[in-house]
């Protein structure tokens, strides 16, 4: 069944101290919902920061409207990089925490003094490196409290919480993929009946109905006839 709001909230609140913990979901629809819940789980203990003015939204200036617009990212948010950004040492799946927002964009230069962009914020990534966020990077960042198993393929995190719910796409292959995303700790929560059924049954790929066999038979028949005619 669907993930209850209270369950998602309690999970994220419990693990909010771990910058390297990610929730993996089977269904796409649960991810934005849970990321929103995750924002609240992380920010609720920060009421005093909000009062003191430290509860900050990362904003950018839009020339088209000549005004500032929020990015949806707040100071302290966990962010996920969704594309390989080799020039900045980031990979698809890199996870970090938004630790600083610049009052005004800061000019960045390389070792030769050449301009390489303007930092609007800074993220402490899971490899321990603190890197700048440029406006051009925003399309490659999203809230990183939760992600689908499909999108997590090829990435790994230190801690992974796998939420297993009844779904027609849930099978042992998907569960294996989810569990192997963890480097040191994996936690399974959800529907034990659905999980057991998925593990015991053949993977979906084995029962998928495709027309490949008939196409191959037809091709081989035509090949044989052509050979006889020759």
Cα 44 to Cα 46: distance, rounded to the nearest angstrom = 5
Strands 182-190 and 157-164: parallel
- The pLDDT, as a whole number, for residue 32 is 47
DSSP-derived letter for residue 97 is E
Residues 177 and 197 in one domain: yes
- The pLDDT, as a whole number, for residue 157 is 81
Flag whether 223 is in a domain. Answer: no
At 173, which CATH number? Answer: 3.40.50.300
- The pLDDT, as a whole number, for residue 7 is 58
- The pLDDT, as a whole number, for residue 8 is 55
Residues 135 and 178 in one domain: no
pTM score of the predicted model: 0.62
Residue among 185, 155, 191 nearest 26 (CA): 191
Q: Total structural domains in the chain?
A: 3
Residue among 111, 113, 131 nearest 121 (CA): 131
Flag whether 160 is in a domain. Answer: yes
Residues 137 and 60 in one domain: yes
Flag whether 225 is in a domain. Answer: no
Residues 68 and 139 in one domain: yes
- DSSP H or E segment with residue 104: strand 95-109
Residues 76 and 129 in one domain: yes
The secondary structure of 2-58 as a DSSP string is PPPHHHHHHHHHHTTT-TTEEEEESSTTHHHHHHHHHHHHHHGGGHHHHHHT---EE
Flag whether 166 is in a domain. Answer: yes
Residues 70 and 133 in one domain: yes
Residues 183 and 198 in one domain: yes
Flag whether 188 is in a domain. Answer: yes
Flag whether 219 is in a domain. Answer: no
- The pLDDT, as a whole number, for residue 18 is 54
pLDDT < 70 regions, the chain: 1-20, 27-54, 203-213, 230
At 123, which CATH number? Answer: 2.30.30
- The pLDDT, as a whole number, for residue 12 is 57
Residues 76 and 135 in one domain: yes
Flag whether 217 is in a domain. Answer: no
Domain of residue 181: give its range: 149-207
DSSP-derived letter for residue 110 is -
Flag whether 73 is in a domain. Answer: yes
């Amino acid at each position: 069944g669907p993930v209850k709001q209270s369950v998602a909230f309690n999970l994220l609140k419990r693990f909010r101290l771990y910058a390297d913990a990610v929730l993996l979901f089977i269904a796409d629809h649960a991810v934005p919902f849970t990321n929103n819940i995750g924002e609240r789980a992380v920010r609720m203990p920060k009421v005093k920061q909000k009062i003191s003015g430290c509860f900050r939204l990362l904003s950018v200036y839009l020339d088209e409207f000549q005004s500032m617009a929020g990015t949806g990212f707040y100071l302290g948010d966990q962010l996920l990089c969704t594309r390989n950004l080799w020039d900045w040492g980031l990979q698809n799946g890199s996870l970090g925490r938004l630790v600083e927002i610049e009052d005004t964009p800061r000019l960045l230069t390389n070792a030769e003094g050449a301009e390489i962009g303007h930092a609007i914020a800074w993220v402490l990534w899971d490899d321990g490196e603190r890197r700048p966020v440029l406006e051009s990077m925003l399309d490659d960042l999203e809230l990183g409290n939760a992600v689908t198993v499909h999108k997590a393929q090829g990435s790994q995190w230190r801690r992974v919480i796998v939420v297993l719910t009844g779904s027609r796409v849930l099978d042992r292959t998907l569960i294996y993929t989810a569990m192997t995303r963890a480097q040191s700790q994996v936690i399974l929560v959800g529907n034990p009946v659905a999980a057991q059924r998925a593990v015991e049954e053949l993977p979906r790929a084995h029962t998928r109905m495709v027309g490949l066999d008939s196409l191959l038979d037809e091709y081989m028949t035509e090949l044989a006839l052509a050979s006889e005619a020759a």
